[in-house]
């Protein structure tokens, strides 16, 4: 067990009670007596030898659940805490019950009881104090987690009972040593315990700064030089995790590295620890962590942010059974992919331990601690939300367009005011002077002509402003499409996903710019009209122009922002089904691959020339130097041939459901059977390379 299991600490603290523990662990009196004789007078050594012998009986595997039950039997809660097991004793229950008082039903709801459970307790026990104690006792009895004190502390915080910190003092944990943090509140640490029945500590996380301390095998960058900061908790050595940078691309509302899961085969494909997501009809994506797969009943068990049905819609992190078919939008289901190194250092046991450390958390934030941030944290230890980054990028674009509208309105309003000044000045001059010289008349006429010039500038401002908005939106859209294509080439986006994502973005750009311009112009005109009326009431003449000037700015900016927001939302809403429809028209889907990812029997697509842009082939093998691929393919000039070809990226693998395909060896056998078939001829329309590859792969 090495340094991870506190044999020395347990041996020293057991003292003369070790024979009692040994009896619970299966040792008989004769075995205990032989240990005493072999290590006469050395109590801690006797305890140490017994524990080592017990571990060796199980092939070196620590049966933590057995040890915990044995320590409970000999009534040693102090030793249980050394092993990371928190004990909720009767004295603590009594203290909590007294503090909670009449609000115990609210606490019960946060601890997982339903209203019927609470009513039954109220019927069975007359006083509120007894009801509270019984509720807590029932909860302790059915609680199957690793840290009841932490769970109870969270629930007490949620119902605003000032006892959480007092319970926290019962939990032994060192202060956070991260720079500028110094958190020493035990309640503000999450503990990761294994969920395999042994309840072993895997790591902790400071909720103030997000720093994790993990066992060696979970470190993203291994501690090869043994210099990593470390702490010891419950006898387990934990080391400081190096912060991991994650991709945060504002072009994507959901992580681009994803694969679509067919709902019909989801339970065959998904595994415990997977990060899944689907888009709600109202644009937002929902995310969850798979914690169980029940193929027999067609249900998944997931950990996610969800509304508590019994507490007036409060959102909480819960584990629940769901049917994917009943989930709004889950017909478009995706699995988020993580890199090989990230997956290796964040195995399933750590993912689930992180997720369950947050059970019962409340305080959902749409652009902060949301369902995506929770799932990302479970999978990588990093809290990130592509939806939040995407949203902030949209706000930035809208602000830029708003500034354009504001500038346009200022210029236009300034022209209006200037025109009114010129007109008013020339009229006053002509009215006051009955006889004017030719020079003065020409000057007045020039001023009237200047007013007309200002009026033309007003109209031109609208055109220029609209053009700038279109340029802004067009540049942003083109940049996003470029990002999508780069992800497509890297294999993060399949062909159909690229089509759907690009279509949705174009629809969003068109609708956003269109409504921003049209509503901006309409709002500017309406605002100018209302401002002119208000200005006339205050100061006829000059007040009319100034009121229209201010009203036009306010009206244009406000309606422009509203138009941009509504247009983008509407474009995203209608773009999604249009994109899905277009994706269905392209037929089979494919995704970019590296040569080491290819397997015999795969169907690949490479790019050729303008007349033959996509060429299909069946993979037979790869060369040792990973530079060439042996394929069987149908060609125009030579028919079906087998040869080695250079692997020049990008190369795409065609995606099929395995249930619809022949086994790999059968695919290659079918492909080679046509090499010697003289009757098999190439036809660009009826029997091309794609037809051949599909015939090799797909069952009838």
| Whole-number pLDDT of residue 505 | 85
Least confident interval from 168-182, 314-328, 346-360, 368-382: 168-182
For residue 601, give the DSSP letter. T
Residue with more model confidence, 63 or 652? 652
Residue 661 predicted with pLDDT over 70 = yes
Least confidently predicted of 56-60, 91-95, 535-539, 588-592? 535-539
> How far is C-alpha 196 from the chain's CA centre?
26
Mean of pLDDT values over 460-487 = 75
Residue located via tokens 């809208």: 398
DSSP of 191-240: EEE-SSSS--EEEEEETTT--EEE-GGG-SS--TTS-S-EEEETTEEEEE
Q: How far apart are CA 185 and CA 207, in angstroms?
A: 10
Say yes or no to pLDDT of 385 above 70.
Answer: yes
d(CA 538, CA 535): 5
Give residue 3's pLDDT band: very low, low, confident or very high (50, 70, 90): very low
What does the chain come to in residues? Answer: 700
Using the predicted structure, report yes or no on whether residue 236 has a pLDDT greater than 70. Answer: yes
pLDDT of 165 strictly over 70 = no
Mean pLDDT of the chain: 79
Q: How far apart are CA 272 and CA 289, in angstroms?
A: 8
**Average of per-residue pLDDT across 175-191:** 76
Instruction: Answer yes or no: is pLDDT of 664 > 70.
Output: yes
Choice between 576 and 126, residue whose per-residue pLDDT is larger: 126
Peptide bond into 650 cis (omega under 30): yes
- For the chain, percent of residues with pLDDT exceeding 70: 77
Give ∠ CA 648-650-655 in degrees, rounded to 5.
120
User: Would you state the pLDDT for residue 227?
Assistant: 83
Residue 139: other Cβ atoms inside 10 A: 21
Element (H, E) at 257: none
Q: How far is CA 496 from CA 44, 541, 583, 587, 615, in A?
A: 66, 61, 5, 9, 18
Task: Please name every residue paired with 646 in a beta bridge, in sequence order, or none if there are none.
Answer: 628
User: Residue 557 has what pLDDT?
Assistant: 67
Q: What is the pTM of this model?
A: 0.63
The phi and psi torsions of 123 (rounded to 5 degrees) equal: -70, -35
Angle, to 10 degrees, between the axis of helix 495-538 and the axis of helix 438-490?
Answer: 150
> Any idea what DSSP says for residue 5?
S
Which of 177-191, 287-301, 503-517 has the highest average model confidence (pLDDT)?
A: 287-301
Q: Is 90 exceeded by the pLDDT of residue 457?
A: no
Higher pLDDT, 570 or 59: 570
The per-residue b/e assignment along 6-25, b for 16 or more CB within 10 angstroms, e otherwise, is: bbeebbebbeebbbbbbbbb
Q: How many CA atoms lie within 13 A of 636 on its CB side?
A: 5
Q: Are the beta carbons of 407 and 382 closer than 8 angstroms?
A: no
**pLDDT of 217 higher than 80:** yes
Lowest-pLDDT range, 164-178, 201-215, 259-273?
164-178
Lowest pLDDT segment from 294-298, 628-632, 666-670: 294-298
- Cα gap 583→560, rounded to integer Å: 33
SS3 479: helix
Give 279-329 pLDDT, tens digit per residue. Answer: 887 678 899 999 999 988 889 999 999 887 655 567 889 899 999 988 887
Q: Quote the CA–CA distance of 308 and 378 in Å, as a whole number.
A: 21
Distance CA 351, CA 272 (A): 9
214: how many CB neighbours lie within 10 A of its CB? Answer: 22
Rounded CA separation 514/520 (Å): 10
Chain position carrying tokens 């340029």: 471
C-alpha distances (whole Å) from 356 to each of 76, 124, 317, 319, 350 are 26, 32, 9, 8, 10
Out of 194-198, 392-396, 629-633, 634-638, the most confident range is 629-633
Which are the contacts of 580, defined by CB distance < 8 A and separation ≥ 6?
332, 500
Biggest CA pair distance of the chain: 136
Question: Which domains can be identified in the chain, with CATH numbers?
Answer: 2-82 (1.10.533.10), 258-384 (3.90.1720.10), 388-585 (no CATH), 592-697 (no CATH)
Sequence-ordered alpha helix ranges (H) in 494-592: 495-538, 542-585
Average pLDDT over residues 89-100: 82
pLDDT of residue 374: 95
Which of 92-101, 289-298, 350-359, 602-611 shows the lowest per-residue confidence on average (mean pLDDT)?
602-611
Taking the chain, what is the end-to-end CA distance rounded to the nearest angstrom?
55
Identify the residue with better confidence: 247 or 183. 183
Phi, psi of 629 (to 5 degrees): -130, 130
Instruction: For residues 226-234, give the mean pLDDT.
Output: 79
pLDDT of residue 247: 66
The tokens describing 602, both together, are: 């795969």
Q: What are phi and psi of 692, to 5 degrees?
A: -65, -50
Residue 136 φ/ψ, nearest 5 degrees = -65, -40
């Amino acid at each position: 067990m090495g340094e991870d299991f506190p044999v020395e600490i347990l041996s020293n603290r057991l003292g003369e009670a070790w024979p009692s523990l040994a009896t619970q662990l299966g040792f008989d009196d004769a075995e205990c007596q032989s240990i005493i004789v072999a290590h006469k007078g050395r109590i801690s050594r006797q305890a140490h030898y017994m524990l080592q012998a017990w571990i060796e009986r199980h092939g070196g595997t620590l049966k933590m659940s057995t040890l915990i039950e044995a320590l409970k039997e000999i009534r040693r809660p102090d030793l249980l805490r050394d092993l990371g097991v928190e004990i909720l004793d009767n004295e603590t229950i009594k203290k909590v019950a007294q503090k909670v008082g009449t609000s115990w039903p609210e606490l019960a709801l946060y601890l997982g009881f339903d209203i019927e459970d609470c009513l039954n307790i109220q019927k069975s026990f007359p006083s509120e104090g007894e009801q509270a104690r019984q509720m807590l006792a029932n909860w302790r009895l059915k609680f199957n987690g690793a840290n009841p004190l932490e769970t109870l502390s969270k629930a007490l915080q949620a119902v605003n009972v000032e006892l959480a910190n007092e319970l926290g003092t019962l939990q032994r944990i060192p202060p956070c040593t991260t720079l500028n943090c110094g958190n020493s509140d035990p309640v503000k640490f999450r503990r990761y315990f294994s969920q395999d029945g042994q309840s072993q500590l895997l790591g902790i996380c400071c909720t103030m700064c997000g720093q994790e301390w993990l066992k060696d095998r979970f470190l993203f960058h291994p501690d090869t030089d043994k210099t990593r900061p470390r702490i010891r908790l419950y006898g387990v050595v934990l080391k400081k995790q190096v912060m991991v940078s994650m991709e945060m691309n504002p072009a994507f509302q959901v992580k681009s590295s994803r694969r679509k899961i067919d709902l019909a085969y989801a339970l065959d494909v998904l595994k415990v620890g997977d990060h899944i997501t689907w888009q709600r009809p109202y644009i937002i994506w929902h995310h969850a962590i798979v914690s169980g797969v029940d193929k027999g009943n067609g249900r998944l068990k997931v950990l996610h942010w969800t509304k508590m049905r019994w507490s007036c819609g409060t959102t909480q992190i819960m584990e629940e059974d769901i049917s994917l078919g009943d989930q709004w939008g889950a017909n478009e289901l995706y699995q988020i992919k993580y890199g090989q190194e990230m997956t290796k250092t964040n195995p399933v046991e750590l993912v689930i331990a992180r997720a369950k450390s947050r059970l019962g958390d409340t305080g959902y934030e749409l652009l902060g601690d949301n369902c995506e941030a929770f799932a990302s944290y479970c999978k990588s230890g990093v809290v990130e939300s592509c939806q939040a980054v995407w949203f902030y990028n949209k706000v930035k674009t809208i602000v830029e367009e708003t500034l354009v509208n504001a500038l346009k309105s200022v210029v236009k309003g300034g022209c209006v005011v200037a025109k009114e000044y010129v007109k008013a000045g020339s009229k006053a001059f002509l009215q006051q002077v009955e006889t004017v010289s030719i020079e003065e008349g020409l000057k007045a006429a020039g001023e009237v002509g200047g007013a007309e010039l200002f009026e033309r500038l007003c109209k031109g401002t609208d055109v220029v402003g609209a053009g700038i908005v279109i340029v802004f939106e067009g540049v942003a859209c083109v940049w996003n499409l470029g990002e999508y294509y780069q992800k497509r080439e890297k294999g993060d986006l399949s062909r159909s996903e690229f089509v759907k994502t690009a279509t949705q973005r174009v629809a969003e750009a068109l609708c956003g710019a269109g409504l921003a311009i049209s509503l901006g112009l309409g709002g500017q005109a309406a605002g100018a009209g209302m401002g002119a009326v208000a200005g006339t009431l205050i100061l006829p003449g000059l007040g009319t122009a100034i009121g229209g000037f201010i009203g036009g700015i306010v009206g244009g900016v406000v309606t422009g922002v509203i138009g941009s927001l509504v247009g983008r939302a509407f474009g995203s809403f209608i773009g999604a089904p249009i994109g899905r429809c277009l994706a269905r028209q392209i037929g089979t889907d494919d995704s970019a691959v590296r040569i080491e990812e290819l397997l015999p029997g795969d169907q690949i697509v490479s790019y050729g020339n303008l007349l033959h842009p996509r060429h299909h082939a069946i993979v037979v093998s790869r060369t040792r130097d990973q530079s060439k691929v042996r394929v069987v393919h149908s060609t125009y000039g030579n028919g079906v041939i087998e040869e080695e070809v250079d692997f020049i990226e990008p190369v795409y693998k065609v995606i099929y459901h395995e249930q619809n395909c022949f086994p790999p060896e059968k695919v290659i056998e079918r492909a080679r059977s046509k090499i010697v078939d003289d009757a098999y001829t190439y036809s660009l329309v009826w029997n091309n390379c794609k037809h051949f590859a599909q015939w090799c792969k797909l069952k009838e």
